[in-house]
Structure 1
Amino acid sequence: MANKTNVNAAKGPQALALHIGLNEVSAAHYAGWSGPLAACEFDAHDMAAISSAQGMKSSLLITKKATRANFLAAVRKAAKALSAGDLFFMTFSGHGGQVPDVSGEEPDKLDETWCLFDGQLIDDELYYELSRFKAGVRILVLSDSCHSGTVVRAARPAPGTPEQRPRIMPRSVALRVYGEHKAFYDQLQNDVAKAAGGKVTDPDTALGNVTVSERLTAIVKDFHPAVILISGCQDNQFSMDGDHNGAFTEQLLSVWNNGSFKGSYASLHARVRAGLPPTQSPNLFTLGPAAAFLKQAPFSL
């Protein structure tokens, strides 16, 4: 047994990657809206190329395969497989959306979502799934989508060109989708709250912008893994689509420069942000004990 343990230790940390890219969603599940985009599948494949080159075992969920069930199964499988020192790298490229919050204290509050092919993943769910990873696991999430509830109250950006589409589900569509599936989304939030001990304290930080507050402190203390999330934009902005990559992913690939980038996650974020216009400023935040993680070389095992 001791020899086996030594052999496993000698192998070093393992890394799993999950890359999700949706160029459309199922109109049957989104009130007739399919949300066509052009570059999300490219984003997923390009990020998978990075993770594979770095020695990670990568999985792809592309458009029709990017269902709620497939996503949750992949994340839960990773949570069971990874231990302290291991890395889980996840990227999402697609539309962001909103559903009314039913588990928080503010009745008019919106929960942010990722628009998976056959239904939305609520930020409550993502928060809970990430919290189930073991202590010491490093989790990196890159989200190239619009996903903050406050964005629907901000001025919408100029239409731009056919190659520049905001990656957000229109508010009118979001309302119709919620109206048609209200019981499902309300139950999801209640189920997650119960699973998390009867209370989920503003878990929007799993998908949206974060400011230092008592809310964030309450969440962080429940996190045992170290989480870094870099999102495509601030909460009052839009992540833009393109022909070959989303604006955020395109800039990240440029800065990474096939692995020639030298620096930390913090400096990677700074360089990507500096290369984008003021109308799209990528955000970075952490959950759990991530100070040392932030100083590491990006995508390193």
Structure 2
Amino acid sequence: MPPTPMQNYGPQFEGANHQMQQPFFQYSQCNGRRKALCIGINYFGQDAELRGCINDAHNVKRFICSRFGYKEDDIVMLTDDASNPRQMPTRDNILQAMQWLVRDGQPNDSLFFHYSGHGGQTKDLDGDEADGYDEVIYPVDFEAASHITDDVMHEIMVRPLPPGCRLTAIFDSCHSGSALDLPYIYSTEGKIKEPNLAAEAGQGLLSAVSSYARGDMGGVLSSAMGIFKTATGNGKKAEQYARATRTSPADVISWSGCKDSQTSADTVEAGQSTGAMSFAFISALSQNPQQSYQSLLQNLRQILRDKYSQKPQVRLSRVIIDRARAETCRHS
């Protein structure tokens, strides 16, 4: 089991009343309450209708019940084939369900969030995104009610959590690398990744060229602005701002199907429509339910590598002090 005391890291600083303070977090022992929210949206009858998202929600629900001991009565399902209007994945219902998930969260609780549906990006307004764009998810009624940004999801699901409360989130959607706005992204070597500004600028240039080839002049403009922000150092400032404002003492981890700049596949595996990330996540943990974050990330990428270009990402709300102790979703 992970250590029980609070874990301190980073430099000390002078806080309120001239008291010396230091960043901290606390692992969840995962022996408290278990609650889950699973969302699957196929967007029936809309442009870019999907096929596997509702299957993903039900598959993940069955998996966490059988593998991790969640009870059906403690799981909220939002899918757009629901007959009950309260179970439709509208913007209002999703926001209320997110609030339900984290309400009265306590140390050692295990909260689980899964989203399978469309994802995208919108202009960043508060300066916490290195590429200048917030990541968003699209409720079934997004055309009338709008999307939900990563800023909003972080504010609802991460900020209220106390030290020692775990939230595990899975985003099987496009442009989802930082969909929960967690500030620390880890590599397959188990190290915190720092922004590669040169690579980001190159990726922005490639995106601009691709947008021009498709006749998407809006995409050309947004990519060009991303290149400018990277070149002027705004990316580094955004990372520093994100770590200052998004670090949490809670035990929060987010798995996503791809980088912010990538798309996630809606595909068929084992004869069933599914999201590639949801399929890989269940497959990897079914094969070995007691692996480290680093091992799980490597296995997710291995499962998807041969058929898909997307690269799953893992982000945390804080710094891992001892990677050998990094527990996986087996406690979730």
Same fold (TM over 0.5): yes
**Contact 1:228/1:290 (<8 A) preserved:** no
Q: Alignment partner for residue 310 of structure 2, among 277, 280, 288?
A: 280
Q: Which range moves more in the overlay, 79-88 or 283-292?
A: 283-292
Q: Would you say 1:132 and 2:151 are equivalent positions?
A: no
**Contact 1:268/1:298 (<8 A) preserved:** no
SS of the aligned residue for 2:265 comes to: coil
How many residue pairs match? The answer is 235
Compute the displacement of 1:280 (Å): 1.2
Q: Which range moves more in the overlay, 138-147 or 280-289?
A: 280-289
TM-score when normalising by structure 1 = 0.67
Q: Would you say 1:254 and 2:283 are equivalent positions?
A: yes
Q: Would you say 1:300 and 2:331 are equivalent positions?
A: yes
Aligned to 1:60: 77
- Give the distance between the partners of 1:137 and 1:86, measured in 2 at CA: 5
Q: Would you say 1:21 and 2:40 are equivalent positions?
A: yes
- Give the distance between the partners of 1:291 and 1:18, measured in 2 at CA: 29
Change in 2 beyond 3 A, CA 1:99/1:37:
same
Map Cα deviations across residues 18-75 of structure 1 (whole Å, 9 max, x no partner): 11110017x8xxxxx5430010111111111122222222221112611121111122
**Contact 2:119/2:137 (<8 A) preserved:** yes
Aligned to 2:23: none
Q: Partner amino acid for 1:48?
A: K
Q: Would you say 1:80 and 2:106 are equivalent positions?
A: no
**Contact 2:36/2:112 (<8 A) preserved:** yes
Change in 2 beyond 3 A, CA 1:34/1:283:
same
Compute the displacement of 1:290 (Å): 5.8
Unaligned runs of 5+ in 1: 1-10, 28-32, 158-169, 176-209
Aligned to 2:27: none
Task: State the identity %.
Answer: 27
Q: Would you say 1:100 and 2:123 are equivalent positions?
A: yes
**Contact 1:226/1:290 (<8 A) preserved:** no
Map Cα deviations across residues 214-269 of structure 1 (whole Å, 9 max, x no partner): 23421344x23221111101223211101321111222222222x75331233212
SS of the aligned residue for 1:76 comes to: helix
Change in 2 beyond 3 A, CA 1:99/1:260:
closer
TM-score when normalising by structure 2 = 0.61
Change in 2 beyond 3 A, CA 1:284/1:260:
closer
Compute the displacement of 1:289 (Å): 6.1
SS of the aligned residue for 1:112 comes to: strand
**Contact 2:128/2:241 (<8 A) preserved:** no
- Give the distance between the partners of 1:292 and 1:75, measured in 2 at CA: 30
Q: Partner amino acid for 1:127?
A: H
Map Cα deviations across residues 73-128 of structure 1 (whole Å, 9 max, x no partner): 1221222232011011101111112222334389x933220011122111110111
Aligned to 1:217: 243
- Give the distance between the partners of 2:154 and 2:302, measured in 1 at CA: 28
- Give the distance between the partners of 2:42 and 2:298, measured in 1 at CA: 28
- Give the distance between the partners of 2:132 and 2:139, measured in 1 at CA: 21
Change in 2 beyond 3 A, CA 1:267/1:99:
same
Aligned to 1:229: 254
**Contact 1:143/1:232 (<8 A) preserved:** yes
Aligned to 2:139: 116
**Contact 1:98/1:111 (<8 A) preserved:** yes
- Give the distance between the partners of 1:37 and 1:58, measured in 2 at CA: 23
- Give the distance between the partners of 2:284 and 2:237, measured in 1 at CA: 26
- Give the distance between the partners of 1:236 and 1:153, measured in 2 at CA: 9
**Contact 1:52/1:58 (<8 A) preserved:** no
Task: Give the greater-gyration-radius structure (CA).
Answer: 2
